[in-house]
Every structure is written in C-alpha cells, then in structure tokens.
Chain A
Amino acid sequence: MLAQSPSLLHRGFIGASGTLLIAAFGTDCFYYTTSLWQWSNFSAWLITFGLIVMLVAVILLLIDFATGRARRLDPVSFLLVAAAGVLSLLNAFVHSRDAWTSVVPQGILLSTVSTLLLVIVGARGWSLATRRVAADRP
C-alpha cells in the first residue's frame, strides 16, 4: 500500500477565494435587478475578503513548493487565478464608488469575467500545482 502524500495547503484557500469572488457576481446581479444598496455593499465586502483569502492562498502555494508538497505549477489554472485576481482588485476599486456606478456597468462586467475564469479553475479542481505523489519520493 502506498503512503498517503501530504495534501496541498493552498488548494482549499483558492476554492474559498473563488467562492467569495463568484458570490460577488451573484450579489452584483441582485443589485442590478433591485437597486437595493445592501447588495452592492455585500459585493464590496465579498470582493475584499476574496482578495485577502487569495493572498493567503498565494503564500500557502509558496509554502507548498518550499516544503515539497507541490511538484509542478499548473500554468493554466495559475494564469486564470492571476487574471481573476487582477480583475477583482480593479473591481474592488470600482466597487468603492458610490451607489449605482459602483456596480453598473463596469463592476458587474468585471465580476462576470472573474466568475467565468474562476469556474474554469473550479472545474480543474482549484489546484494551482500538481501534488507530489508518494512514488516521487526519493
């Protein structure tokens, strides 16, 4: 029986960050249809915390490599997350505007694009690196 290899630390945090940022797309949609300010407020907080958790995930990704848990970067997922991160940072500033234009049109456009990118990352398993299998061990 093969020994269980250590799991990747960053993966769950990428998933959590992605979930928060995708949720902001949902609350943006609610704001777009209702004009109720609290939805835009939710979006602003979801994007802020999504970015903070993404930062934690990036640090953990480095630790994954440093401690030999990760073997190789997955360039597709990594670039998708990087793009979603840049767009969401931009979106955090857009959402810092006041009232309607904090969401419509640029805010909701940015959260739509981020969501599409993050759904692909989710379908690929939220992992930005391949896991070192036990057999790789010297």
Chain B
Amino acid sequence: MKTTTSRSIAALLACAVLTACGPQGGDPARQYGADPYLPEPNQYLLPPMSVPRSIGWHSGETPTAFAGLKVEALATGLEHPRFLYTLPNGDILVVESNSPGTEAFRPKDFIAGKVKAQAGAAGKGGHRITLLREGDDGAVKLRTVFIDHLYSPYGVVLVGDTLYVADTDAILAFNYVPGTTQITASGVKLTDLPAGPIDHHWTKSLTANADGSKLYVGVGSNSNITENGMAVEEGRAAIYEVDRSTGDKRIFASGTRNPTGVAFEPETHQLFAVVNERDEIGPDLVPDYLTSVRQGGFYGWPYSYWGNHVDVRVHPQRPDLVAQAIKPDYGLSSHVAPLSLLFSEGQHLSPTFANGAFIGEHGSWDRSPLNGYQVIFVPFVNGQPVGRPVTVVSGFLGKDNETVHGRPVGLALDRSGAMLIADDAGNIVWRVSAAQAAAARP
C-alpha cells in the first residue's frame, strides 16, 4: 500500500512537471475524415492549453482567402456577431449574442472566466438581430436593428412568412413581411428549450426541413463531461425536432455534446450537424465532427466518444449505451470548435466549392498549438462528406500563433453568392467573393 501510494504521488509530481512543458498536439490532418487517429486519453493536472491574446484587426487588415477570392469587411462595430441568415430579398440578418452569463460553481470556473476574457470571447453580446441591406456594389446601404431585446439568440430560420429565432430558452416566432427592416412586435413562443440553471453550452442552432413542417434545434450539454451532475443534463446534448404547427417537440438524436450547427444536405435532404466534442483528455482528443443525424441515433456523449471509446470521467458508466453509440461520419480534428454549417448549393465562389459544406471553426484554447480559427470546406459526393477539407478563409490567427485578430462563427451566402462570415472577436461581418467577378464590375 505504501509503495503504491508513494509511486502514485511520484507519478503525479512527474506529470505536474510534464504539463508545465505542455503536451503538444500532432498534425490535425491525421484526424480528418471517417477514421481519425485517436490517441490514448490522459488525465492532467493542468489540461493542455494555449490562450491566445485577442488583438482585433487594424484598419486594412483582413483574413486571407482561397486563391481567386477576395475578402472585405461588410460591416464593422457589431456586438459579438454570431449567426448569419440571408432572407429571400437579400437582406442579411446578423445575430449579435453571447452567453446569458453563468455563475462560477467551482474554483476552476474563476480561472476559466479570465481565460475567456483574454481570448476575446467575453465580449458583450448585443442580444439583438441587426439587418444589413447590400447595394449593387456589395456594400451596405442600410443597417437597422431588426429585432431587439432577445435572450442570447443564436439560430434563425424563415418558414413562409414566419421568422423563427432560437433564444437560449425558447423558440420565438415573428411575423415577417418581405422588405421589413424592423420588427417591434414581441415574438410568440413556439416552445421552451433547455436553458438555465448553468446553461453551459447556450447556443441553440436552428433549421427547418424542406417542406417547413418541422424545425430542428441543436441543444448543447450543460458541462464539459457531466461535472455539473447528471440532473442538469436532462434533455441536453441532443437535437430536437419541433412540430411547427403545434410546438410539440421530441428528441430526434442524442449524445451530441454540442451540436452548434444543423443543416439539411440539399441533394439528399438528409439532416447534418457539426458537433463540438469533449475537452481536457488531450490535445488530440476528441475530434469535433460533421455527421449525418440519424433519427433516434445516440452519438456517445457523455459515456463514450467516436463510437465506443469510453470516457472514464463519467460515473456510473453505461456500457449498454456505449454499445449503441454511433460513429460520426467525418472528423474535423480536435478542438477546432465548429460553430456553423452551410451547404454550398452549387455556388459561385469557385468550382472547388460546388458541392459540399462550409464550416466556421471558431477555434478554442484547449489545445497547443491552436487549431481551427478558419473557415473550411468539406467536399460532398452523393450526399456524403469525402476527401480532405479545404481551407477557404484563414488568417484569423496571427502568424505567431499566439495572437488572435478574429474568430469566425456564422456563415451565410448573400444574394450574389458571396460568402459572409460573422467574426465575434473582431465584431465584423466579412464578405468573401470571387476576385475576378468583382473586378469585372463597372
């Protein structure tokens, strides 16, 4: 007993020294696709981290885009823009939002708050939606506060003449008349969504199916890995299906830790989601992923990851559920924090991006070196993700890998097919368009 005790303590001291040097993540490319490399999990005294310093953009600085594309700032001075949505008349909705504010429960939460602030993630959210109307030259000619006084809104979808906004605690329905630039009427609640207490992963992603009969809502877990207890995880880490006419909802798929983007693949009308996986068991664990979402499917959280890889931090364990856990379709590599999913629909930016999904990778501080902080494109064939992702827009991270200019979140395509990127650290909406087409304009 005594030797095991002293050996265990010696091992602890050794890993204290090791974590000070910091375990480094390997090549993210090993974790792309259907069969990502998965190292053994670790338990740390200090989990691997590198906290970038948020420095914003100087005037004239922009992210860098794929060959043949150019990037301009469409709108600046926003309040933590997260989600983007283009209305049929071309008006662009910018959802400005941040966490409803969570209380510190554990000693580590105080430290986490400081980390968040340094990395530029603690910006005050506007809790509103701003409308941008582009002129023919692609510049903004009208900017209004479209809907104000929301409660940590995220997803937006228009079905017919009803605009649905997913606040962190409910889906609200607003009557929308085409061309409207401001809605002052308060929304009518369609259904409640799991929110406080805690509301750790607060974003509620939202989309509608092709016939508009059902809405799909991504609801994140209330912790990293159940450290706030199982009771607060009731109904969380799931994708809901909401009946639009009655507001009835049911869990469509579960075990998705933080499904921050949901969208239908245009060819097959299959629901897809991007999901943020768990932290603190290694710089290369667990890969965030893009997956088709099967009705009734269980994707592992919290008991296991990438199929049946058991997470020992969860107790009591559930081997029965682990046996059912579905392997996701496509790994995006670890700690990239994918926060949006946008299908390209045969679009105009470049032939490279004709068929597939754009994903905004917000980046995180749970890994060294940092990963994500870019917009990628995952090619699709026959409705399935295949091959390697392509970097569409990067340069959000400074060349020193320690400073951050901005962090990409929501994506949308404007009327002309240009891609818009919400940058919640730079408080900017970027517009990415084909350089040639723009040059051809008079």
Interface residues of chain A, those whose CB is within 8 Å of chain B, are: 35-38, 40-41, 44-45, 48, 87, 90, 92-102, 104-106, 109-110, 113
CA separation between A36 and B227, bound complex, in Å?
A: 10
Question: Can you name 25 A-B pairs with beta carbons within 8 Å?
Answer: A35-B315, A37-B227, A37-B228, A37-B230, A38-B229, A40-B227, A44-B108, A90-B16, A93-B16, A94-B12, A95-B107, A96-B106, A96-B107, A97-B280, A98-B225, A98-B227, A98-B280, A99-B313, A100-B312, A100-B315, A101-B313, A102-B227, A105-B8, A109-B5, A113-B9
Smallest beta-carbon distance B21→chain A, Å:
15
Bound CA–CA A117/B108 (angstroms) = 26
A113: chain B residues at CB < 8 Å are: 5, 9
In the complex formed, the residue of A with least CB distance to B43 is A101
Residue of chain A at shortest CB distance from B107:
A48
Contact residues of B between 62 and 121, Cβ < 8 Å to A: 105-108
The answer to whether A90 touches B12 (Cβ under 8 A) is: yes
| Residue B46, interface by CB 8 Å | yes
Complex CA gap A106/B151 in Å reads 41
Smallest CB separation, A22 vs chain B (Å):
18
Q: When the two chains form the complex, which single residue of B5, B16, B107, B227 contacts A99, counting CB atoms closer than 8 Å? A: B227
Q: Which 5 A-B pairs have the closest CB atoms?
A: A100-B315, A98-B227, A37-B229, A93-B45, A99-B313
B315 CB contacts on chain A under 8 angstroms? 35, 99-100, 104
User: Smallest CB-CB separation from A95: which chain B residue?
Assistant: B107
A90 nearest in chain B by CB position: B12
- Specify which chain B residues have a CB less than 8 angstroms from the CB of A45 in the assembled complex: 106-107
Please report the C-alpha to C-alpha distance between residue A101 and residue B310 in the assembled complex, in whole angstroms.
13
Contacts of B229 in A (CB 8 A): 36-38
Given the interface pairs A41-B106, A92-B107, A109-B8, the reply to whether A97 lies near B43 with Cβ below 8 Å is yes
Binding site for A on B (CB under 8 A): 5, 8-9, 12-13, 16, 43-46, 105-108, 223-230, 280, 312-316
Q: Within the assembled complex, what's the spacing in Å between the Cα atoms of A44 and B46?
A: 15
Question: Taking the nearest CB of chain A, how far is it from the CB of B105, in angstroms?
Answer: 6
Whether the Cβ atoms of A100 and B106 lie closer than 8 Å is: no
Alpha-carbon distance A110/B224, docked complex (angstroms): 24
CA distance in complex: A101, B225 (Å):
11
Question: Which residues of the other chain, A, contact B46 by a CB distance below 8 angstroms?
Answer: 93
Identify the closest chain A residue to B46 (Cβ): A93
CB proximity of B303 to chain A, nearest CB, Å: 11
- The answer to whether B107 and A44 touch across the interface, beta carbons within 8 angstroms, is yes
B residues in contact with A102, CB < 8 Å = 227, 313
B229 to A, closest residue via Cβ: A37
Asked if A99 contacts B12 (CB within 8 A), the reply is no
Complex alpha-carbon distance, A87 and B6, angstroms? 11
Please give, as numbers and ranges, the residues of chain A lying within 8 Å of B45 by CB-CB distance: 90, 93-94, 96
The smallest C-beta distance from B106 to any residue of chain A, in angstroms, reads: 5
**Complex Cα spacing A97 to B13, Å:** 16
Q: How far is the CA of A24 from the CA of B315 in the complex (A)?
A: 20
**A98 to B225, alpha carbons, bound, how many Å?**
6
Pick the residue among A36, A93, A99, A104 that contacts B225 (CB under 8 A).
Answer: A99
Q: Which of A38, A44, A100 has the most CB of B within 10 A?
A: A100
Which residues on the B side are within 8 Å of A94 (C-beta)?
A: 12, 45
A35-B316, A45-B107, A90-B13 known; A99-B226 Cβ under 8 A = yes
A91 smallest CB distance to B (angstroms) = 9
Nearest residue (CB) in B for A35 is: B315
Cα distance A93–B225 when bound, in Å? 17
B4 to chain A, nearest CB (A): 9
Say yes or no: A101 contacts B312, CB within 8 Å. yes
Complex interface: chain A residues within 8 A of B43 (CB) = 97, 101, 106
With a cutoff of 8 Å between Cβ atoms, the chain A residues found around residue B224 in the complex are: 98
Q: Which residues of A contact B312 (CB under 8 A)?
A: 100-101
**How far, in whole Å, are A95 and B314 apart by their CA atoms in the complex?**
15
B313 touches A37 (CB 8 A): no
Q: How far is the CA of A95 from the CA of B107 in the complex (A)?
A: 9
| CB-defined contacts of A44 to chain B, threshold 8 Å | 106-108
Collect the chain A residues with CB atoms within 8 Å of residue B280's CB: 97-98
Residue numbers in A under 8 Å from B227 (CB-CB): 37, 40, 98-99, 102
Pairwise interchain contact A97-B12, C-beta atoms closer than 8 A: no
B223: which A residues are within 8 A, CB to CB?
98-99
The CA-CA distance from A93 to B44 in the complex, in Å, is 8
Cβ-closest chain B residue relative to A112: B5
Chain B contacts for A97, CB-based, 8 A: 43-44, 280, 313
New A-B contacts (12) at CB < 8 Å, excluding given A44-B107, A110-B12: A35-B316, A37-B228, A38-B229, A41-B106, A45-B107, A87-B9, A90-B9, A96-B107, A100-B312, A100-B315, A104-B315, A106-B8
Q: Are A98 and B313 in contact, with the CB atoms below 8 A? A: yes
